[in-house]
Amino acid sequence: MPLNRRTFLKVGSLAAAATSLNVLAEPEQAPAPKSANDTIQLALIGAGIQGQSDTRNALQVPGVKLVAAADCYDGRLTHCKELWGADVFTTRDYREILARPDVDAVLIATPDHWHKQAAVDAMKAGKDVYLEKPMIHVYPDGPEIISTARSTKRILQVGSQRVSSVAYAKAKELLASGAIGELNMVTAQWDRNSSIGAWNYSIPLDASTETCDWPRFLGSAPKIPWNPEQFFQWRKWSAYGSGVAGDLFVHLFSGTHFITGSNGPTRAMATGGIRYWKDGRNAPDVLLALFDYPQGFNLSLRVNFVDGGAESEGFIFTGSEGTMEIAGQTVTVARVPREKEPGYTVSTFANEMQKEYLAKYRQKYPDTPPEGSTYTAIEKFSAPKGYSDSVDHFRNFFSSVRTRKQPVEDATFGFRAAGAALLSNMSAEKGSVVKWDPQTMKLG
Ligand SMILES: NC(=O)c1ccc[n+]([C@@H]2O[C@H](COP(=O)([O-])OP(=O)(O)OC[C@H]3O[C@@H](n4cnc5c(N)ncnc54)[C@H](O)[C@@H]3O)[C@@H](O)[C@H]2O)c1
């Protein structure tokens, strides 16, 4: 058996391993590629709603095993053992997981304010990382995550699963092939008309400072007394979450950037407010934002937690010769060929002028049957029933872990999506236009 990290590093006890983490030098070499027969040992950091759902998806990829989980609420650690076996190692302190030599990769699904620290700590401990979106909570997180991925030679993939979707791949191919002509506008929305949609997640009946590690949850956030709402519904407060921009716009940016090949917008203007959910949250429940893209199109985004309409997530890409709509995992292209003649508006002119104008017009544009200008060809592409882009996103991640090739959504892509999304919060707060350089990933 070849010597690998797991067989080479034997640490006597976890306590010893945890202590030794602090003195481990940053890994300078990437691990050797793994064969398809090697099992990838995965650990979960942040075993909440998405962490558990991600783990289910990750374990559908052959050759992947969950060996450990960290969380700040004991009930979720208990449930990890119920779901994946009593031998899954559980802890409140993720550093104990990072010190384990039997962990190859970690899946980080903590609240946003922990993303950077957990990802950087994991990469420095030699682990590859699947990091949930939004990659950043504040702008300085971006360069730190990117540079740590580079210096440690670890794989870091961000968790906007649409980037691995077959439907989005089809949309990208269609746009590139000119299916809708020249792209000039993208509109997208992710509306939710429900209490759960507005982040009012259930608080367990045993929630207390005994069962929840409140100081660890707070981390770098302002120290405040125990607050179960803030622990379990953290998205509602900017100390931990990034509002609808970081939660939902970021998916729309990942999709837009993947499909168009753009690195991001140069200017953003946004407005919003807390219109309905006046429950103590400080994150708006309505947010509208507009962006300029240097490729010559505009993007408009909307999230609305308030209206009486249906929940919806979708895009419309408008081109010079049609539209391409994405709804869920279905792409619909409506091709509307450009008109062959410009038309006329002469009916208000004097009769003689109308006659003369029309005669000249028809010389230039001979009368043709009306086929063409009103013709709309509709084509529809749907992912197969039961298709999961999340499973494909994990398939792509584990493939990178094995081959050491850059993942489909690396840290730079993740920063460009999250950095663009957070412009909306900044613009709405300032009440003014904000600028961003999508190439250098710096605020203007
Ligand atoms: N890709 C997607 O479609 C998608 C969907 C939902 C959520 N997410 C992302 O997943 C992340 C988690 O969201 P969620 O809905 O699962 O939240 P959640 O509150 O259900 O779970 C977060 C868990 O992290 C734990 N935690 C907090 N600090 C920790 C720490 N220092 N160490 C270990 N565990 C810690 C909490 O105890 C909690 O159980 C968020 O960043 C969110 O944006 C992504």
125 pLDDT exceeds 90? yes
Is the CB of 203 within 6 Å of ligand 1? Answer: no
Ligand 1 binding pocket includes 204 (Cβ within 6 Å): no
Residue type at position 92: R
Q: Would you state the pLDDT for residue 36? A: 75
Instruction: Report pLDDT for 16.
Output: 36
Chain segment 260-290, per-residue pLDDT in tens: 999 999 999 999 999 999 999 999 999 999 9
CA distances from 227 to 95, 137, 223, 231, 436 (A): 25, 21, 11, 6, 36
Burial 117-129 (b: 16+ CB within 10 A, else e): bbbbbbbbbbbbb
CA dist., res. 240 & res. 220, Å (int): 9
Mean pLDDT check: name the lowest of 21-25, 117-121, 139-143, 320-324: 21-25
Show Cβ contacts of residue 48 under 8 Å, excluding neighbours closer than 6 positions: 71, 73, 76, 109
The tens digit of pLDDT for each residue in 37-95 reads 799 999 999 999 999 999 999 999 999 999 999 999 999 999 999 999 999 999 999 99
393 C-beta closer than 6 A to ligand 1: no
- Mean pLDDT calculated for residue range 364-381: 76
Q: In this structure, which long-range contacts are made by residues 323-330, counting pairs with CB atoms below 8 Å and at least 24 apart in sequence?
A: 323/180, 324/171, 324/174, 324/175, 324/179, 324/180, 326/167, 326/168, 326/171, 326/255, 328/167, 329/165, 329/166, 329/167, 329/382, 329/383, 329/387, 329/389, 330/167, 330/380, 330/381, 330/382, 330/383
33 falls in which pLDDT band (50, 70, 90)?
confident
CA angle 204/191/200 to nearest 5° reads 15
| Cα gap 217→343, rounded to integer Å | 65
Give 7's pLDDT tier (boundaries 50, 70, 90). very low
Taking the CA of residue 246 as reference, the ligand 1 atom at the shortest distance is 43
Which residue is closest in CA terms to ligand 1's atom 8? 50
pLDDT, position 3: 31
Whose tokens are 């609420």? That residue is 73
Q: What is the dihedral sign for C-alpha 415, 416, 417, 418?
A: positive
Q: Is residue 110 over pLDDT 70?
A: yes
What percent of the chain lies above the pLDDT cut of 70?
93
- Tell me: cis bond preceding 284? Omega within 30 of 0 counts: no
Predicted pLDDT of residue 312: 81
Across the range 191-201, mean pLDDT stands at 93
Q: Evaluate the CA torsion angle 235, 237, 241, 242 in order and state its sign.
A: positive
Question: Counting atoms of ligand 1 from 1, which one is nearest the CA of 212?
Answer: 37
Residue of higher predicted confidence among 339 and 60: 60
Which pLDDT score, from 0 to 100, does residue 12 have?
32
Least confident stretch, 22-26, 41-45, 294-298, 403-407? 22-26
Query: Residue 128 has which token pair?
Result: 């590859």
The pLDDT value recorded for residue 370 is 60
pTM here? 0.92
Pocket test for ligand 1, best of 110, 206, 211, 214 (most atoms within 8 A of CB): 110
Which of 54, 55, 72, 79 has most ligand 1 atoms within 8 Å of CB, for mutation?
72
The answer to whether the CB of 392 is under 6 A from ligand 1 is: no
Which numbered atom of ligand 1 lies nearest the CA of 216?
31
Identify the residue whose C-alpha is closest to ligand 1 atom 25.
46
* Best probe residue, ligand 1, of 53, 55, 56, 71 (max atoms within 8 Å of C-beta): 71
Q: How confident is the model at residue 381 (pLDDT cuts 50, 70, 90)?
A: very high
Predicted local confidence at residue 313, as pLDDT: 85
At residue 116 the predicted structure's pLDDT band, cuts being 50, 70 and 90, is very high
CA distances from 68 to 45, 139, 216, 379 (A): 9, 30, 18, 46
Atom of ligand 1 nearest to the CA of 53: 16
The predicted pLDDT at position 13 comes to 36
What is the Å distance from ligand 1's center to 113 Cα?
Answer: 10
Do the Cβ atoms of 176 and 415 come closer than 8 Å? no
**Which is nearest to 53 in space by CA: 27, 88, 78, 79?**
79
What are the pLDDT digits (tens) for 309-331? 777 889 999 999 999 999 989 99
CA of 234, closest atom in ligand 1: 19
Q: What does the mean pLDDT of the chain come to?
A: 92
Rounded average pLDDT over 177-193: 94
Residue that has been written with the tokens 């660890």 in this structure = 216
Provide the edge-to-edge strand list for the sheet that holds 156-158: 89-91, 64-70, 40-45, 105-108, 128-131, 156-158
Q: Tell me, what's the pLDDT at 236?
A: 98
First to last CA, the chain: 53
Q: How confident is the model at residue 369 (pLDDT cuts 50, 70, 90)?
A: low
Amino acid at position 398, single letter: F
Residue 15 binned pLDDT confidence (cut-offs 50, 70, 90)? very low
- Provide the token pair at 289: 């934002």
Tokens of 295: 């490729």
For the CA of 52, the nearest atom of ligand 1 = 16
pLDDT tens digits, residue range 224-253? 999 999 999 999 999 999 999 999 999 999
pLDDT at 100: 97
Confidence at residue 309, expressed as pLDDT on a 0 to 100 scale: 74
pLDDT at 142 over 90: yes
Percent share of the chain, pLDDT over 90: 84
Query: Does ligand 1 lie within 6 Å of residue 64's CB atom?
Result: no
